[in-house]
Amino acid sequence: MSLLELDDVKVHFPVKKGLVFDRTVGHVYAVDGISLSVEAGQTYGLVGESGCGKTTLGRAVLRLVDITAGGVVFDGTDLAKLPDEEMRRYRRRLQMVFQDPLGSLNPRQNIESILSEGMAAHGIGTDRADRREKIKAILAKVGLPTNSLSRYPHEFSGGQRQRIGIARALVLEPDVIICDEPVSALDVSIQAQVINLLEELQESLGLTYLVIAHDLAVVRHISDVIGVMYLGSLVEEAPSDALYAEPKHPYTKALMSAVPVPDPEVEDRRERILLQGDLPSPANPPAGCRFHTRCPWAQDTLCATERPVLTDVGGGHKVACHFAAEIEAGTVGLNRPIGIEAVVGEGTPPLVEAAEPADEPAGESGAVPAPREAAEKADTV
């Protein structure tokens, strides 16, 4: 059995209306039927554009948001059915590293107070002196000076603050760490250092990661298995190398085509896919396949009426698309000719321009330097 299993998890937020008597007039379908499993010692990467529900799914695993339906089975126990007090005890084994390293730390607490708070709550350490020694050992593991216990979060750099967030998770000796965009708020050179740190900690402590990100280069480097989310649903799942070598779902193909390639000749000639329109509202998702309103290969026969099921097509590669095999074989053509913007050279395939990526904070570009080399060249964090 997998260490962590999600079975048809749904998280629906009610939309209320009325000043005196609230009444529910609809729901936001943030997560709508996700099933996946994470093996012990494995890193599962979850990718998708902003608003697809990946962060909500991570919070649902920890019961930080209410689960509408489905099960979250951790080490044989369904967390969705646990009483609040018992769930609180399980959170010691399931920890989270948040996206904003500064916002996740209390500015009025020093580092010792931040790290010892959870230890005291879960009964880790016999007394304050014992907890302090454990904290110093963890700080050394994450590459922070052990004499910084009396300092406050604003006195550290962004990379150091994220290391404090990682240390806060580690002091509770967890089995699973959910990393929600762990490097997106950091400079590119610092991203490499934090990624390397997460890998080293996993190797030395036997940790299991669920990494939530939108940067495909980061996810590819750190993940064993990758799941692609779109509008609250999982549309493709595969081992990391297989997904990047041969994406099968049209949405995954579009994501991959938007990642820049260093070789200018390959970049000019490769197929790039334009997705028309914006992500539909999760409060009013399309019928049938959630992606059919933007899919260049959508067909009237099934796509608009029947929701595809995530199906194993071999080698652990799963895809939720009615026509994945036909698209791969070339027997289903593009149904949106406006997507064909140019033809590069004579005899080359049509070039379908990539959609411009959404504005991203500094340090969130699709290209990440070779992590080890970048880490060695970067200033100490």
More confident site: 256 or 375: 256
Count CA atoms closer than 13 A to 80's CA, side-chain side: 19
Q: Of 317, 312, 322, which Cα lies nearest the Cα of 237? A: 317
Domain definitions of the chain by residue range? 246-346
Name residues whose C-beta falls within 8 Å of residue 136's C-beta, 6 or more positions apart in sequence. 146, 149
The bridge status of strand 311-312 relative to strand 94-97 is: unpaired
Query: What is the pLDDT, as a whole number, of residue 24?
Result: 87
Q: Of 121, 225, 224, 240, which Cα lies nearest the Cα of 171? A: 121
6-30 mean pLDDT: 90
Query: What is the pLDDT, as a whole number, of residue 346?
Result: 35
Q: Provide the whole-model pTM.
A: 0.84
More confident site: 357 or 103: 103
User: Residue 119 above 60 pLDDT?
Assistant: yes
Give the whole-number percent of the chain exceeding pLDDT 90.
Answer: 63
The pLDDT tens digits for 24-60 are: 889 999 999 999 999 999 999 999 988 899 999 999 9
Cα(51)–Cα(290) distance, integer angstroms: 14
Cα(33)–Cα(312) distance, integer angstroms: 17
User: Residue 13 above 60 pLDDT?
Assistant: yes
Cα(218)–Cα(211) distance, integer angstroms: 10
Task: Note whether 82 and 90 are within 8 A (CB).
Answer: yes
**pLDDT band, very low/low/confident/very high, at 22 (cuts 50, 70, 90):** confident
Size (the chain), residues: 381
Query: What is the pLDDT, as a whole number, of residue 367?
Result: 46
The pLDDT tens digits for 260-315 are: 777 777 767 777 777 887 889 999 999 999 999 999 899 888 999 999 999 999 99
Query: What is the pLDDT, as a whole number, of residue 1?
Result: 67
Task: Pick the range with the lowest mean pLDDT from 139-143, 246-250, 259-263, 360-364.
Answer: 360-364
Cα(190)–Cα(40) distance, integer angstroms: 27
Task: Note whether 59 and 34 are within 8 A (CB).
Answer: no
DSSP string covering 270-319: S---PPPSPPPPTTSPPSSSTTTTT-TT--TTTTTTSPPP-EE-STT-EE
SS3 call for 325? helix
153-162 mean pLDDT: 92
Query: What is the pLDDT, as a whole number, of residue 323?
Result: 94
